[in-house]
Amino acid sequence: MNTPPAPLTLCEFVDAGIPGLESYSPFCVKVHRALRAADLPYTRRHGAHPGVFKKLNPTGQLPVLLVGDEPVADSTAILRRIEAMVPGSLTGTGPREAAEAWLWEDYADSCLNGYLVASRWADERNWPSVKIAYFNAMPALIRAVLPGRMRAKVVGALVARDVWRAGAAKCWDRFEASLDQLEVRAPRDGFWVGSKITAADVAIFGQLHGLRSALTPWQREQLAQRKGLSAYLDRVDARTRLAAPEVVARAA
CATH code for the domain of 78 = 3.40.30.10
Is the domain of 162 the same as that of 185? yes
Q: What is the pTM of this model?
A: 0.93
Provide the residue range defining the domain that includes 229: 95-239
- The arithmetic mean of pLDDT across residues 180-191, rounded, is 97
Is the domain of 113 the same as that of 187? yes
Is the domain of 44 the same as that of 80? yes
Burial of 210 (0-12, 13-18, 19+ CB in 10 A): buried
The better pLDDT of the pair 125, 18 is held by: 125
* 244 confidence band (pLDDT: 50, 70, 90): very low
Is the domain of 100 the same as that of 217? yes
Is the domain of 35 the same as that of 140? no
The better pLDDT of the pair 210, 140 is held by: 210
Is the domain of 16 the same as that of 135? no
Residue 158 reports pLDDT greater than 70: yes
In CATH, what number is assigned to the domain containing residue 103? 1.20.1050.10
The better pLDDT of the pair 14, 164 is held by: 164
* 243 confidence band (pLDDT: 50, 70, 90): low
How much is the pLDDT for 104? 98
The number of distinct structural domains making up the chain is: 2
Q: Does 115 fall in a domain?
A: yes
pLDDT digit string, tens, across residues 166-184: 999 999 999 999 999 999 9
How much is the pLDDT for 1? 38
Q: How far is CA 10 from CA 13, 23, 35, 50, 83, in A?
A: 10, 12, 10, 13, 16
